Amino acid sequence: MYTADEGGDNEIWVMNADGSGKVQLTANSADDLDPRWSPDGTQIVFASNRDGNDEIYRMNADGSNVVRLTNNPVDDREPAWSLDGASVAFASNRLNAGSTTAGSTYRIYTLRAADGANVTQAADTSARHPDWGFIGSPCDPFGGCTQSQTPPEE
């Protein structure tokens, strides 16, 4: 999965590993960016400015059923699924979880993936590009590896 500007704005595409079978999943006059597969591969979260500013959206893996998860006049970007698919982390320049005022610093927030509810500030310091890829896994970089697991090879 990737984003490409093949007509004046960035859209989300998928293709086979050999480059064949390109399929455009989004088509509008806005930029659709930062797509991420859900852990089960059935959905995609992404950022888009299709409603005027950057917001977080979710859609089915085939591009259908687009749902807006955030609705705030500040920028919400860089979504990342939790390992269980229940939550999405994202970067926002909102002042706090309930704020509609933009600040100068981006912080990490989380929300419920099903409906965008329960927006919670997860990081109190300047932060961007959330990634839950290892947290809670057998080789969590914060907790180390369990005795039965070995770190992934580089």
d(CA 7, CA 19): 19
Contact 116, 69 (CB under 8 A): yes
Instruction: Tell me the per-residue pLDDT of 94-144, one tens digit each, with 9 for 90 and over.
Output: 876 666 666 778 888 999 999 999 998 887 777 778 877 654 444 444 444
Mean per-residue pLDDT, 77-91: 93
> Can you give the pTM of this predicted structure?
0.81
**Torsion angle defined by CA atoms of residues 30, 34, 35 and 36, in that order, rounded to the nearest 10 degrees:** -160
pLDDT at residue number 102 = 67
Cβ-Cβ contacts under 8 Å for 102 (sequence gap 6 or more): 73, 74, 75, 93, 94, 95
Q: Collapse the DSSP code of 111 into the 3-class scheme (helix H, G, I; strand E, B; otherwise coil) and give the result.
A: strand
**Surface-to-core class of residue 148, CB atoms within 10 Å of its CB (0-12 exposed, 13-18 middle, 19+ buried):** exposed
- Dmax over CA atoms of the chain, in Å, equals 52
Residue 73 has pLDDT above 70, yes or no: yes
CATH architecture for segment(s) 2-145: 6 Propeller (2.120)
Domain ranges of the chain: 2-145
Q: Collapse the DSSP code of 77 into the 3-class scheme (helix H, G, I; strand E, B; otherwise coil) and give the result.
A: strand
pLDDT at residue number 151 = 42
